[in-house]
Amino acid sequence: MSKARSTNTAPTETGADKNDEKTQNGAESDIFLDALSRMEAAAKVTHTSPEVLERLSRPHYVLQVSIPVRMDDGSLRVFEGYRVRYDDSRGPAKGGIRYHPDVNLSEVKALGFWMAFKCAVVGIPFGGGKGGIVVNPKELSNMELERLSRGFIQQIADFIGPDLDVPAPDVYTNPTIMGWMMDEYSKITRTHSPAIITGKPISLGGSLGRDDATGRGGYYCIKELEKRKGWSPNGINVAIQGFGNAGQHVARLLHADGYQIVAVSDSEGGVYREEGHNIPALMRTKQMSGRLLTEGQIITNAELLELPVDILIPAALENQITRHNASRIKAKTIVELANGPTTSEADKVLHKRGALVVPDILANAGGVTVSYFEWVQNRAGFYWTEEEVHDRLYSIMSSSFSAVYDLAQRESLDMRTAAYAHALSRIGAAIEAHGTQDYFISQD
């Protein structure tokens, strides 16, 4: 049989791999406006104050910077970067930093918006933020990457802080890069500041259990569904688009339980095996060679999405399921480990045909939850065992899943609208606590 091949990618804040090639369908609309439409749908359920919606319709702060970097050949290149602090009503902004040539302000704003709702849906005391640099990191040496990473922190140091805005890894950034950034911030402020950034190496104050947190959080959501649906894992087959950090770990955990992982893919394509993949062997090969080498039928990322599987896990990038292909998606259950893999127009098609979608702001919240644990441990100077991290993560993910699932059932909603409604109620309560028009015009 043919073999599939790929390049290596680094762990990310969400665990997603942002493909080198764009989805064949492209963006259907401005990604930020599409993100806002989810909040508008939820507002009809929660009867949220118009003032709250007005406040959440735009980011609090947007910073755009230029980062000059001296390259290894002596030349100077200037890179464009962004940091968006979308909302801090419930606590410091939280969100990753991605390195990719397609980074743009609309995307970063949308990602910051999603982070605000993601933190609220699982009840951790953070707002939403996001950052990115327009760069192809594969074209840079490690020394150039270090200079770029430190240069970015030099430009945004006054804009971030442990009590203000706490970055983390995302697409094509990793613990080493987070370590450089933490070190640079500490030099600038002349303090030891591990809580400035999460996703760091363990030796620099990172948390045990952070490496598989996004995939594990998605796995816990599937286990909750398993209880409610009465599934037998041995009879369930799964396709995973994106075999990066989140995709690998959710595959590992599901495979160990007996689920059949019949298809996986990365930025160069995928491979399908009707009998299922040997996931531990596939992970070893990927980690050692940087390639997705295994026996099976080579397929494209688009073809993987349309396979006749029970569970589809998009763990790559945004705008993968659109109005162009939604009618061909056969999976009855979709668990979104990527940020924004399904457009609002595609949601309507999936909902109409009865697909259950566990939305990104719930399914991939394990990563930011354990980032919160890391921040707490850094500030306390007291560190937890891996078992404690797993137990705390399970408690938060299972209770959050139940709250969203039960709301969806009670109000006859799809799970995405229920998740946004649940989160909007929490963010709205924080904003309304400062007073709205009704409060200020009321009389004793």
| CATH 3.40.50.10860 residue spans of the chain | 58-194
Is the pTM higher than 0.85?
yes
Q: What is the mean pLDDT of each run of 10 residues along the chain (444 residues)?
A: 35 44 43 92 91 95 98 98 97 96 95 97 97 97 98 98 96 95 98 97 97 96 96 94 94 97 92 94 87 86 96 93 96 96 95 95 97 98 98 98 97 96 96 89 69
Please check whether the domain covering 213-363 is classified as CATH 3.40.50.410.
no
- Measured in Å, how far apart are the chain's first and last C-alpha atoms? 79
Answer whether 207's CB lies under 8 Å from 384's CB.
yes
What does R_g of the chain's alpha carbons equal in angstroms? 21
Give me the pLDDT at residue 287, please: 85
Sheet of strand 311-314, all strands in order from the earlier edge strand to the far edge: 297-299, 269-272, 260-266, 237-241, 311-314, 333-335, 356-358
Say how far apart CA 222 and CA 238 lie, in whole Å: 11
Cα–Cα distance list, 136 to 26, 145, 173, 338 (Å)? 19, 10, 11, 20
Query: Is 130 known to be catalytic?
Result: yes
Give me the pLDDT at residue 370, please: 98
| CATH 3.40.50.720 residue spans of the chain | 213-363
Answer whether 152's CB lies under 8 Å from 133's CB.
yes
Beta strands in 315-403, from DSSP E residues, in sequence order:
333-335, 356-358
Give me the pLDDT at residue 24, please: 34
Q: CATH number of the domain at 58-194, out of 3.10.20.30, 1.25.40.10, 3.40.50.10860, 3.40.50.620?
A: 3.40.50.10860
* Count of alpha carbons within 13 angstroms of residue 326, beta-carbon side: 21
Catalytic residue among 130, 200, 223, 286: 130
